[in-house]
A = this chain, B = another copy of it.
Amino acid sequence: MARNKKQDIISTAARLFAQHGFEDTTTLGIAREAGVTEPLLYYHFRGKDEIFSLVIREFFTQYREMVQKLPAHTSTGFEKIANLIRMHVEISATHPHQAKLILSACPAMLIRGYSVCWEVLENQKNLLNEYLQKTLREGIESGEFKDYPIPETVAVLRCLINGIFRNKVMHNPEDAAYEEMAVEFCKSSLLRDN
C-alpha cells in the first residue's frame, strides 16, 4: 500500500473524483485518504488539475482497451455491434465509479473549458466511430447490412450506445434489462433480411 505513493495518490484521487466530483474533492482530502501530505501532491504533480487529467486519461485508457479487446472475428457482423452494446452495459455494472466520472465529472468540466475532458470525449467518439465504421462497411459489403449511409448510421448508433451507457450508470438500474431490446432494435434496422 505504501509502496508507491505516487500511484496511491492517483488511485485515491480517482476514487474521490468519481464519488464526489471535481469541486468537492479537495487536495487535502486526496492527501489524507492517500496517507500522504499535501505538498507531496505538488512534488509529484503540477496541481489538482494535472491529477484530474491523469485520472481521466487512465480511465479512458482502460475503456479503450476494453473496446479493442472485443472479438475481432464473430459469426456475423451484427454480433460486433451487439457486443459493443453489451460491453457498455457491462461496464456500467463493473466500473460504476469510473463510468460516473466520465459521464458526470467530465461534462461538468467541459463546460468550464477543460481541455482534457474535451480530448477524452473526442477520443471516445473517434474510438466508437472507427469500430462502428469498420463493422458497418464490412457488413454492407458482405450484404449482411442494408445499404445505409455510413457516417449517419455510425452517429445514430453512437448516440444510442452512449444513451444506454449513461442511462444505466446514472439512473438506478431499476428498468430491467432492456439492452437485448436495444440489440433487437438495431438488428431490425440494420439487417437486410429479418
Contacts and interface: CB of A to CB of B under 8 A. Distances in A.
Interface residues of A, number: 48
A63 to B, nearest CB: 17
The interface centre, meaning the residue of A163, A175, A178 with most chain B CB atoms within 10 A of its CB, is A163
Interface string A159-178: 11111101100110001111
Contact of A171 (B103, B125, B160, B176): B125
A20 B112 contact: yes
A55 interface: no
B107 A104 contact: yes
Given A21-B111, A163-B161, A175 B151 contact: yes
B158 A167 contact: yes
Contact of A107 (B103, B181, B188): B103
A146 B158 CA distance: 24
Contact of A155 (B20, B107, B166, B167): B167
Contacts of A178: 151-153, 155-156
Interface string A15-40: 00011110110000000000000000
Given A108-B108, A153-B181, A166 B166 contact: yes
Contact of A160 (B24, B103, B159, B188): B159
A107 B170 contact: yes
Given A156-B160, A188-B189, 14 more contacts: A24-B112, A105-B108, A107-B170, A108-B108, A148-B181, A149-B181, A152-B178, A153-B181, A155-B178, A156-B164, A158-B167, A163-B164, A166-B166, A188-B188
Interface of A: 18-21, 23-24, 100, 103-105, 107-108, 110-112, 121, 125, 146, 148-149, 151-153, 155-156, 158-164, 166-167, 170-171, 175-178, 180-182, 184-186, 188-189
